[in-house]
Structure 1
Amino acid sequence: MNYIIETERLKLRELTLDDTDKLALVLSDPQSMRFYPHPFSREEVEHWIKWNIDNYKKYGFGLWAVIEKESDEFIGDCGITMQQVENDLFHEIGYHLRKEYRGKGYATEAARACSDYAKNRGVEQIISYMKSDNLPSRHVAERNGMTFVKSFTKTVMGKVVEDEVLYMKDLNANEKIRDVQIEDAERLLEIYSHYVLNTAVSFEYDVPTLEEFKERIRNTKKKYPYLVCEKDGKIIGYVYASAYSSRESYSWTVSTSIYVDKDYRRQGAGTLLYRELEARLKEMGIINLLAGTAFTEKEDEYLTQDSPKFHLKQGYREAAHMIGIGKKFDRWYDLKWFQKKI
């Protein structure tokens, strides 16, 4: 079998008419297609596959079958098609997965791989679009590094849909990870201030002064990596490690902390930062990473479950759960510790 793309957990290949029954589990399922005008008939599923086969011949790409490596099961489609948005033609990343395979990060994994595929073939810009209330699909676009552009109207399956939203990513955008400089402190403090003043992500009540923040950077850099992520020359996030304990037995264990600009979350910066931090720490002989995150069973305006979920996707596992350990905004919050061995 000739696979177009392979990721850690998935394989993507061209669709054939033999896939009709499996693809119908997605496209003909009312729940999966609730954001479309209607579920597909079998004839429409076959037409969908034929459309993509034509795209393979015309463009060299289309929506591909997504296969789970572990089970060799067909779980949906994902790929690149040419889509008209108002007066412009774009390369669009689309994805449709069987409902029992959602919530595992598969759509994000496949979409990012398709984004890389497009970039490697000289595509400069990609989009995804969906109905405005399709939050799962919007989150996948955000995790694929796309940003919201606008709302628009589009004809879908012969029906005019007025609440479509467009997400876009410039594949030539420059993202790089580098060591922090003391001159970065003001920008980093700007990022951190949001989490202090508006969220329970940080249990600090007051934003530190610029001099206090600079001193924190200096103290960390004496022993551990402190990194920033730049996009087009602008710092959009930072990460650092610190001693878990001063006792010698803990010399191979560190705590990790990461903050991403609120306007650049779910765009891959956190993953890039953690990846480089782990590489640096591994060279130092560090074995254990610990990350403490505020937690609430019921999300509120000050705290979501994004940070715990992010750490689980980065390969951490939950190691401890402390109940009602921090009070902020006159509410009690839990603290979860996550551990990863490198």
Structure 2
Amino acid sequence: MSTDRLLIREWELGDAEEALQVYGADEVAHWLTPEWRPVNDTDAMRSVLHAWIESGPNLMPPAGRWAITRREDGQLVGGLSVKLLPPFEEDFELTWALRPDVWGQGYATEASRAITGWAFKQGIEEIFAVARPDNERAIAVARRLGMEWVGETEKYYDMTLQVFRLRPG
């Protein structure tokens, strides 16, 4: 899948070093879900990618995990996922994470628009994004995507989160 500036593709083991710049960055890991375990080196990141790649075929679309690369130079700038939210695994969650040095360039919004458009074509009726109340960047992306704020809850991940919802159209 692609946009004007980005290519959204499956993860590869060879992405480990560049993926570490995303998921190993403290300023990114700080905002990830509590179940996320810190990734401190390329071997650990390769293990995470291996798990993501191996689990991919078992996920029911639109669930999945993808790498985001720039079309102009092939640089990996981040990752996206669509997954079922805990605890009941009934609602789909959109997540994104970008390298800190590319924040503010619209990549999260652009990639998320593409993946949500694809997800809706898979037949889902809504998708959610959750963010800690002080995660202003994530909240801004959710709003740019046209997501509607539906409230605050402790239902997901056992922590207070802002909940945003997007429906087709």
Kept in 2, the 8 Å contact 1:53–1:62? The answer is no
Distance 1:56 1:141, change over 3 A: same
User: Aligned equivalents of 2:98 and 2:152: distance in 1?
Assistant: 24
Q: Structure 2: which 5+ runs fail to align?
A: none
Alignment of 1:38-57 (within 5 A): 39-42=38-41, 45-57=45-57
Alpha-carbon distance, 1:45 to partner: 3.0
Deviations 1:40-76 (A, max 9, x none): 2346534432343244202244120101011111111
Greater Rg by CA: 1
Distance 1:16 1:99, change over 3 A: same
Alpha-carbon distance, 1:124 to partner: 1.1
Deviations 1:131-183 (A, max 9, x none): 1111101111111121112222243xxxx5x2222111122x4xxxxxxxxxx
SS at match of 1:89: coil
User: Aligned equivalents of 2:15 and 2:85: distance in 1?
Assistant: 23
Kept in 2, the 8 Å contact 1:62–1:79? The answer is yes
Which of the numbers 160, 165, 169 marks the counterpart of 1:168?
Answer: 165
Which amino acid counterpart does residue 77 of structure 2 have in structure 1?
A: I
User: Aligned equivalents of 1:163 and 1:48: distance in 2?
Assistant: 26
Alignment of 1:1-342 (within 5 A): 5-36=1-32, 39-42=38-41, 45-58=45-58, 59-60=60-61, 61-84=63-86, 86-153=87-154, 154-155=156-157, 160=158, 162-171=159-168, 173=169
Kept in 2, the 8 Å contact 1:29–1:39? The answer is no
Which amino acid counterpart does residue 79 of structure 2 have in structure 1?
A: D
SS at match of 2:25: coil
Deviations 1:174-225 (A, max 9, x none): xxxxxxxxxxxxxxxxxxxxxxxxxxxxxxxxxxxxxxxxxxxxxxxxxxxx
Which amino acid counterpart does residue 71 of structure 2 have in structure 1?
A: K
Which amino acid counterpart does residue 167 of structure 1 have in structure 2?
A: F
What residue in structure 2 maps to residue 282 of structure 1? none
User: Aligned equivalents of 2:48 and 2:146: distance in 1?
Assistant: 27
Alpha-carbon distance, 1:125 to partner: 0.9
Deviations 1:202-255 (A, max 9, x none): xxxxxxxxxxxxxxxxxxxxxxxxxxxxxxxxxxxxxxxxxxxxxxxxxxxxxx
Which amino acid counterpart does residue 40 of structure 1 have in structure 2?
A: V
User: Aligned equivalents of 1:55 and 1:89: distance in 2?
Assistant: 19
Kept in 2, the 8 Å contact 1:55–1:81? The answer is no
SS at match of 1:138: helix
Which amino acid counterpart does residue 13 of structure 1 have in structure 2?
A: R
Q: CA RMSD in A?
A: 2.0
SS at match of 1:31: helix
Distance 1:51 1:10, change over 3 A: same
**TM-score of the aligned structures, taking structure 1 as reference length:** 0.44
Deviations 1:288-332 (A, max 9, x none): xxxxxxxxxxxxxxxxxxxxxxxxxxxxxxxxxxxxxxxxxxxxx
**TM-score of the aligned structures, taking structure 2 as reference length:** 0.85
Kept in 2, the 8 Å contact 1:79–1:111? The answer is no
Q: How many residues align?
A: 162
Higher relative contact order (CA 8 A, sep 6+): 2
Distance 1:141 1:51, change over 3 A: farther
